[in-house]
Amino acid sequence: MENNPQMTLHGLAQQTGPGELHDSKFMPAVEKRRVLRQWKLFLESGLQREKFTHPLYNHLIQNCSFIAHYDLGGFYSTYFENGDDTVNFLSQFDDRKGMPKSVEYGWTAWLTDEDYYDINIEMVRIAAKYIPALIEKAENEQRSADITQAEALLAKHGIKIDLAERR
Whole-prediction pTM: 0.85
Positive or negative: CA dihedral 94, 26, 113, 12: negative
Task: Say if 137 falls within a structural domain.
Answer: no
- Map 55-90 to HEC letters: HHHHHHHHHCCCCCCCCHHHHHHHHHCCHHHHHHHH
> Structural domain tally of the chain?
1
Task: Say if 76 falls within a structural domain.
Answer: yes
Using CA atoms, how far apart are residues 113 and 103, in angstroms rounded to an integer?
A: 16
pLDDT of residue 5: 47
Task: Say if 112 falls within a structural domain.
Answer: yes
pLDDT in tens, the chain (167 residues): 444 545 555 555 545 555 689 999 999 999 999 999 999 999 999 999 999 999 999 999 999 999 999 999 999 999 999 999 999 999 999 999 999 999 999 999 999 999 999 999 999 999 999 999 999 999 999 999 999 898 889 989 999 887 666 55
Task: Say if 54 falls within a structural domain.
Answer: yes
Task: Say if 158 falls within a structural domain.
Answer: no
pLDDT of residue 2: 47
Task: Say if 151 falls within a structural domain.
Answer: no
Q: Angle 78-84-86 (CA atoms, 0-180°, nearest 5)?
A: 55
Task: Say if 100 falls within a structural domain.
Answer: yes
Task: Say if 1 falls within a structural domain.
Answer: no
Domain with 64, as residue range(s), is 9-16+26-131
pLDDT of residue 161: 80
CA dihedral 122, 128, 129, 134 (to 10 degrees): 120
